[in-house]
Amino acid sequence: MTSLAIIGGSGAYDLLKKKTFNKLKPCRKIKTPFGQSANIHTFELDGISFLFMSRHGDDGYKTSAPFVNYRANVWALKEAGIERIISWSGPGIINPSFDVGSYTVPHDIIDQTKCRAGTFFEHGGLGFIRMKNPFCTDLRHALLYSLESLNLNFQEHSVYVCTEGPRLETPAEIHLYHSYGADLVGMTLAPEAFLARELEMCYAPICYLTNFAEGVCDRAYLTGELFEGMMTKDEKHDVDEAVKRLPTIASLALKTASDHPRECECSNAMVRYKKRGDITDDWHTWIDP
């Protein structure tokens, strides 16, 4: 049984249609206390087997970010035996020194979501977890090694601000997030990352940069175009190429990570509660939905 997974963001459905991965098993859903998960595929690429979940749907962008069932998806991956998750996301750029079509591996996150269920622990005094490193340090290093090995353009550090959506942000909001120190703005990494930590799973994102956020540069409003004109044709080409490389980047990172034991903080996130006798090693008993 594989212990590795990829959660694909925007563009994952196109890669599924193109049969980018080698299928090992038929896809399935898992029923969880929080509803049914998204489809879970078992794939192989470059000698690495992993589970794959398309966050927004298998047939296109059918479920927008605020309506993804993050708890069901993370629970299902834990149920399937997953220990390490790499996710991808296509945020906008707040830091003007970043390039559209390049990559970054965020090291920190600002959660600006408003209406999402952000924890498994709604019925008990659990989940008071330190967030010095909100993303797994081991997986981050594996992703950075993968990007460097493939000689790709990337930023080693970045701060991702997660907004509620599905609308895009106003210029004033982007100005505010810039003052916070955010480099990127997207809609998907929260609460996904926090839920994975609550179940002691390693989680790290790789971001391909899709466009400059509102107000970072002056773009005319183009009715009916993607993002209403926030992305040029040349930038769209660069982004499409960046998406095509994501499976190779992620599979190399998973291979790199799987060659080493888990020595990060993630696998011990709930140890304090175990020592105190509040919970046992059976994670199913931690949650009373």
Average pLDDT estimate for 222-229: 86
Percent helix, strand, coil in the chain, to 5, is 30, 20, 45
Mean pLDDT of 125-139: 96
With bands split at pLDDT 50, 70 and 90, how would you rate the model's confidence at 242? very high
Domain residue spans of the chain = 4-286
Q: Does the pLDDT of residue 208 top 80, yes or no?
A: yes
pLDDT digits (tens, 9 = 90+) for 180-198: 999 999 999 999 999 999 9
Distance between CA atoms of 59 and 151, rounded to whole angstroms? Answer: 31
Return the CATH fold of 4-286.
Answer: Rossmann fold (3.40.50)
Residue 289 has pLDDT above 60, yes or no: no
Q: With helix as H, strand as E and coil as C, how does 5-37 read?
A: EEEECCCHHHHHHCCCCEEEEEEECCEECCEEC
**pLDDT number for residue 157:** 97
Q: Using CA atoms, how far apart are residues 148 and 253, in angstroms rounded to an integer? A: 11
Task: Tell me the average pLDDT of the chain.
Answer: 94
Q: Which of 89, 79, 11 is CA-nearest to residue 51?
A: 79
Does residue 288 have a pLDDT over 80? no
Tell whether the model's pLDDT for residue 16 goes beyond 60.
Answer: yes
Asked if residue 10 has pLDDT above 90, the reply is no
Q: How confident is the model over 77-119, as pLDDT tens digits? A: 999 999 999 999 999 999 999 999 999 999 999 999 999 999 9
Q: Could you give the percent of the chain with pLDDT greater than 70?
A: 99
Per-residue pLDDT reduced to its tens digit, 25-66: 889 999 999 999 999 999 998 888 999 999 999 999 999 999
What does the block give as tokens for 125? 């005094």
Calculate what percentage of the chain has a pLDDT beyond 90: 82
User: What confidence score (pLDDT) does residue 17 get?
Assistant: 86
pLDDT confidence tier of residue 229, bands split at 50, 70 and 90: confident
Report how many helices (DSSP H) and strands (DSSP E) the chain contains, helices first: 7, 15
The neighbouring-strand residues paired with 155 are: 104
* pLDDT of 1 above 80: no
For residues 129 and 254, give the distance between their C-alpha atoms in angstroms, rounded to a whole number. Answer: 25
pLDDT of residue 116: 97
Cis, bond preceding 166 (omega within 30 deg of 0)? yes
Rounded to an integer, what distance in angstroms lies between the CA atom of residue 37 and that of residue 35?
Answer: 7
